[in-house]
């Protein structure tokens, strides 16, 4: 390979919002649970993932990223004993919308997190599964050589209906080969509520999949603003933040109202990132889903987060050679 060899790749990270607020369930007694579940599920229905998926797909179409890291790409199931089962699988819904726009992505890796099932006040059961997913463009000749999915060892526990439930989170990663280059992409969603748990999760990534000589990209909702302890754990390990290098403006990515109907955007902090290390050169970065024109025709914001889209070049010849070896180990 001559020294001119380089590839240009695009990434998108987006927390697409599970669609409701679980706060009413925290500390609820067993007697309160059915009523609270109904309340939580009604908000999920109101934030209308089928219509939001159209807006999300439209934003993805505007960027056509090679790789997408999604957080809160969840699955809801409503089990109605007298009728049957209604499933809202965010990934299935989104892939279908993308396909209608001529964009063919496939799931390259996914980690499954917190799972739960509770009765509502209508005599039904509501089942929930949290997922974070890496999507890859099918038509670009990317070869996924390895995939790995894992849950964190350190997770938050919360009291719901008289029981302690673990809010299980994790990460997934893929090693991708393209034109002789091999690189790793990691996608994650770190704990929002407790910094010590969030830091432990960040360290699990840094000591695990991010501990590599391969060129590596991390996409994720890190739930930590720039210069926070969690953010600095990544920076101190040599990771760079695409937005701080090539983004324009403040790049705020969170957080709209839970019903997604706030008139004016409430995005006022930056917690969603594309981080890179080992041989990447960032070219550009921008936000998606943050402006009034991005809303659904019913006025919903596409998500309570904006997404971050970026292009980077992989051009470090040194990494090119010895990374061949690591990927085959």
Note the pLDDT tens digit of each residue in 101-146: 999 999 999 999 999 999 999 999 999 999 999 999 999 999 999 9
pLDDT digits (tens, 9 = 90+) for 71-113: 999 999 999 999 999 999 999 999 999 999 999 999 999 999 9
Query: N- to C-terminal Cα distance for the chain?
Result: 22
Could you tell me the two tokens for 328? 């085959």
pLDDT digits (tens, 9 = 90+) for 148-159: 999 999 999 999
pLDDT (mean) for 171-195: 97
3-class SS shares of the chain: helix, strand, coil, % to 5: 25, 40, 35
pLDDT (mean) for 259-270: 98
Nearest CA-CA partner of 295 in 263, 322, 258, 253? 263
pLDDT of residue 39: 98
CA-to-CA dists, residue 97 to 50, 216, 239, angstroms: 9, 29, 34
- Give the rounded percent of residues in the chain with a pLDDT score beyond 70: 94
Could you tell me the two tokens for 271? 């917690």
Give, in words, the CATH class of 8-328. alpha beta
Model confidence at 242: pLDDT above 70: yes
What whole-number distance in Å separates Cα of residue 190 and Cα of residue 220? Answer: 8
Are the C-beta atoms of residues 256 and 294 closer than 8 Å to each other? Answer: no
pLDDT (mean) for 165-180: 96
| Dihedral angle sign, alpha carbons of residues 90, 105, 315, 205 | positive
pLDDT of residue 320: 47
Q: How far is CA 98 from the centre of its chain?
A: 17
pLDDT bracket for residue 315 (50, 70, 90): confident
pLDDT (mean) for 195-222: 98
pLDDT (mean) for 203-211: 98
Q: What is the mean pLDDT of the chain?
A: 94
Could you tell me the two tokens for 307? 């997404």
Could you tell me the two tokens for 73? 């790409």
Which helix (H) or strand (E) element contains residue 243?
helix 242-246
Are the C-beta atoms of residues 295 and 58 closer than 8 Å to each other? Answer: no
pLDDT of residue 316: 61
The structural domains of the chain, with segments of one domain joined by +, span: 8-328
| Biggest CA-to-CA distance, the chain | 69
What whole-number distance in Å separates Cα of residue 67 and Cα of residue 309? Answer: 10
Model confidence at 3: pLDDT above 80: no
pLDDT of residue 284: 97
CA-to-CA dists, residue 58 to 27, 123, 304, angstroms: 39, 37, 16
pLDDT of residue 4: 53
Going by DSSP bridges, is the β-strand pair 7-15/67-71 parallel, antiparallel, or unpaired? parallel
């Amino acid at each position: 390979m001559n020294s001119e060899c380089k590839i240009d790749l695009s990434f998108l990270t987006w927390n697409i919002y599970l669609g409701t607020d679980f706060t009413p369930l925290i500390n609820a007694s067993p007697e309160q649970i059915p009523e609270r579940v109904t309340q939580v599920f009604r908000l999920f229905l109101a934030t209308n993932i089928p219509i939001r998926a159209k807006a999300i797909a439209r934003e993805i179409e505007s960027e056509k990223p090679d790789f997408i890291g999604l957080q809160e790409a969840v699955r809801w199931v409503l089990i109605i004993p007298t009728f049957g089962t209604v499933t809202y699988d965010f990934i299935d819904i989104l892939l279908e919308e993308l396909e209608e726009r001529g964009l063919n992505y496939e799931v390259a890796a996914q980690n499954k997190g917190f799972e739960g099932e509770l009765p509502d006040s209508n005599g039904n059961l509501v089942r929930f599964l949290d997922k974070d997913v890496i999507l890859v463009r099918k038509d670009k000749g990317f070869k996924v050589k390895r995939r790995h999915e894992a849950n964190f060892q350190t997770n938050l526990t919360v009291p719901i209906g008289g029981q302690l439930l673990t809010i299980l989170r994790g990460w997934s990663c893929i090693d991708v080969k393209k034109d002789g280059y091999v690189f790793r992409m990691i996608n994650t969603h770190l704990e929002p509520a407790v910094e010590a748990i969030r830091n432990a999760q960040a360290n699990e990534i840094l000591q695990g999949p991010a501990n590599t000589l391969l060129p590596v990209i991390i996409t994720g909702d890190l739930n930590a603003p720039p210069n926070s302890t969690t953010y600095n754990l990544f920076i101190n390990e040599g990771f760079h933040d695409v937005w701080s290098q090539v983004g324009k403006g403040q790049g705020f990515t969170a957080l709209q109202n839970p019903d997604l109907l706030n008139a004016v955007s409430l995005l006022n902090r930056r917690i969603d990132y594309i981080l890179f290390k080992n041989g990447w050169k960032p070219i550009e970065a921008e936000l998606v889903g943050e402006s009034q024109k991005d809303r659904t025709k019913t006025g919903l914001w596409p998500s309570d987060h904006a997404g971050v889209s970026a292009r980077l070049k992989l051009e470090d010849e040194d990494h090119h050679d010895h990374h061949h070896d690591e990927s085959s180990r």
